[in-house]
Amino acid sequence: MRGTRITQLFALGALAAALTLSGCKKGKDSSNAADEKQEPPPPSGTMSLQGMYSYMADSGIFVDCATQERWPVAHEGDNATLERAYGKAKIAPGAPLLVTVEGGLDLRPKVDGRGKVTTLIIQRFVRSWPRETCGWMQPVTLEDTTWALLELKAKTITVKVNDKAPYLELNSKKASAYGFGGCNRFFGSYETSERSLTFGAMGATRMACPEGMDQEQELFTVLGSVTRYEIHGSKLLLFADKELVARFEARAPLE
């Protein structure tokens, strides 16, 4: 009986010693973790991103449309494809280009100075959107807004660097539609109610241009076929019944 009691006491003593050592070890680890404070890592994983990309002096910068955060772009992954697309776009050197990419964020050494900076790693270049932007941040209306032409019959509108881009304006005070077709200025009337929109016959100046006349004439034809419209954010969509015939983007409200 006495031997059993001694055995139990030894067992309890060993258990208490083990718990004490375990507590000391945990206390030491938590202290070290507190002492070694680290910066929280940037978001990781693959994300679909749309933003304004610019490239100059062997350096790419991406400004995210959703958050307006600005990140340098790493020279790895599918970055070479993005750079080639930027080079093929008909924009001024260093000008921003709207692009859609898939990628993630990681810390990379700064180009100038010590330390690291959150950097965008392009895993896949999706496409570019010439002449488009992240969009006008304020609410826009059909009337009294400058609408820059983006597409006609699903064809992207191309504009040379120094050329004036086609646009459309609907002036509510004058009840008139006018704009620029790429070569000539045009003007006419319009009627709108609810989501319906129709244009009257358009008049235009009669300048002759070496390029863009066919595109301009197609714009006039398309406007004559419009029956309704939709506005999605900063984009204006014009329809001929169910067919999408033109896309515009709001640039800025009229003065």
Query: Per residue in 27-61, pLDDT tens?
Result: 444 444 444 445 444 455 688 888 999 999 889 99
- Local confidence band at 18 (pLDDT 50, 70, 90 cut-offs): very low
185-188 and 203-204: which strand pairing?
antiparallel
Whether the predicted pLDDT of 14 surpasses 60? no
| 66-70, 136-140, 154-158, 170-174: range with lowest mean pLDDT | 136-140
Q: What is the pLDDT of residue 121?
A: 95
Residue 75 is part of a domain; what is its CATH number?
A: 2.40.50.540
- Local confidence band at 170 (pLDDT 50, 70, 90 cut-offs): very high
Q: What is the pLDDT of residue 25?
A: 41
Residues paired with 188 in a beta bridge: 177
Of the three residues 129, 154, 189, the one that is the final residue of a domain is 129
Cβ proximity of 250 and 234 under 8 Å: yes
- Please indicate, yes or no, whether residues 106 and 74 belong to a single structural domain of this protein: yes
Q: How far apart are CA 158 and CA 151, in angstroms?
A: 9
Report the SS3 class of residue 22: helix
Whether the predicted pLDDT of 140 surpasses 90? no
Nearest of 147, 154, 155, 160 to residue 211 by alpha carbon = 160
Q: What is the pLDDT of residue 133?
A: 85
Residue 216 placed within a domain: yes
Q: How far apart are CA 205 and CA 183, in angstroms?
A: 9
Residue 220 tokens read as 């006039």
- Please indicate, yes or no, whether residues 150 and 245 belong to a single structural domain of this protein: yes
| 47-56, 72-81, 108-117, 132-141: range with lowest mean pLDDT | 132-141
What are the residue ranges of helices labelled H in 65-212?
79-88
Count of structural domains within the chain: 2
Of the three residues 77, 97, 129, the one that is the final residue of a domain is 129
Q: What is the pLDDT of residue 90?
A: 79
Of the three residues 101, 129, 157, the one that is the final residue of a domain is 129
Q: What is the pLDDT of residue 17?
A: 41
Please give the average per-residue pLDDT across 174-197, as a whole number. Answer: 93
Cβ proximity of 171 and 224 under 8 Å: no
Task: Look at 26 and 132; give whichever has higher pLDDT.
Answer: 132
Q: What is the pLDDT of residue 68?
A: 86
Please give the average per-residue pLDDT across 102-125, as a whole number. Answer: 90
Whether the predicted pLDDT of 10 surpasses 60? no
Residue 41 placed within a domain: no
Residue numbers of the domain that contains 74: 47-129
- pLDDT tens across 204-214, in order? 998 988 877 88
Q: How far apart are CA 226 and CA 236, in angstroms?
A: 12
Please give the average per-residue pLDDT across 59-75, as a whole number. Answer: 92
Mean predicted lDDT score pLDDT of the chain: 81
Per-range mean pLDDT, top range of 6-10, 33-37, 66-70:
66-70
Residue 25 placed within a domain: no
Residue 158 placed within a domain: yes
Report CA dihedral (141, 147, 151, 156) to the nearest 10 degrees: -140
189 φψ region: left (φ > 0), alpha (ψ -120 to 50), beta (else):
beta
- Please indicate, yes or no, whether residues 59 and 101 belong to a single structural domain of this protein: yes
Per-range mean pLDDT, top range of 3-7, 159-163, 235-239:
235-239
Q: Sign of torsion, CA 141 145 151 156?
A: negative
Residue 28 placed within a domain: no
Cβ proximity of 111 and 59 under 8 Å: yes
- Please indicate, yes or no, whether residues 172 and 75 belong to a single structural domain of this protein: no
- Local confidence band at 117 (pLDDT 50, 70, 90 cut-offs): very high
Q: What is the pLDDT of residue 158?
A: 74
